Amino acid sequence: MVQDDPLGSTSITDESVIDRLLERNRLQGWSRRIAPDRRPRLRLAIVTCMDSRIDVFEAFGLQRGDAHVLRNAGGLVSDDTLRSLVLSQRLLGTTDVMLIHHTDCGVHGLDEAAFARDLERETGQRPTSDFGAFDDLDADVRRSIARVIDSPFVASKHAVRGFVYDVETGLVREVARES
């Protein structure tokens, strides 16, 4: 089945999409220069899902160089996410953390045990990682907030806040921390 190709052809292969993106990059070049400082201007780190419907730069009017954006499936605050947050804060000066989960997430309601069994059947190996499935969106945001705040390595805990991004409207609502 051929789908609409945003890059202009009727047939897509992984290689052709990547090659086209590389060509776009060569043709575009940098339209503007940013300050050479690698520290985010807003001192902000954002953790969100890898879902391609979430454009945090557009949603919040951010510019290149404003914030660190850490993405993974479900916006899960994994050990690797914490590692990146620690580096973001302690080496690169961020202080505020936005944790943004979203509606219609692929891991919402996922049966992890069944998924792991299917992967093991297909590959012959049991997955070693947690996929971050959840049933309650707000509770999952609260777990993420707690995970960041509970880390002894996260330096700035005063401005860790959680949100839900609505993929239909593009609006964000805050999820209150558990007291």
Same domain, 88 and 167: yes
pLDDT tens sequence across 85-106: 999 999 999 999 999 999 999 9
Q: What total number of domains does the chain contain?
A: 2
Same domain, 65 and 143: yes
Task: Tell whether the model's pLDDT for residue 13 goes beyond 90.
Answer: no
- Coil, helix or strand at residue 46: strand
Contact 163, 174 (CB under 8 A): yes
The model's pTM: 0.84
Same domain, 57 and 96: yes
For range 167-175, the mean pLDDT:
96
Share of the chain above pLDDT 90, in %: 75
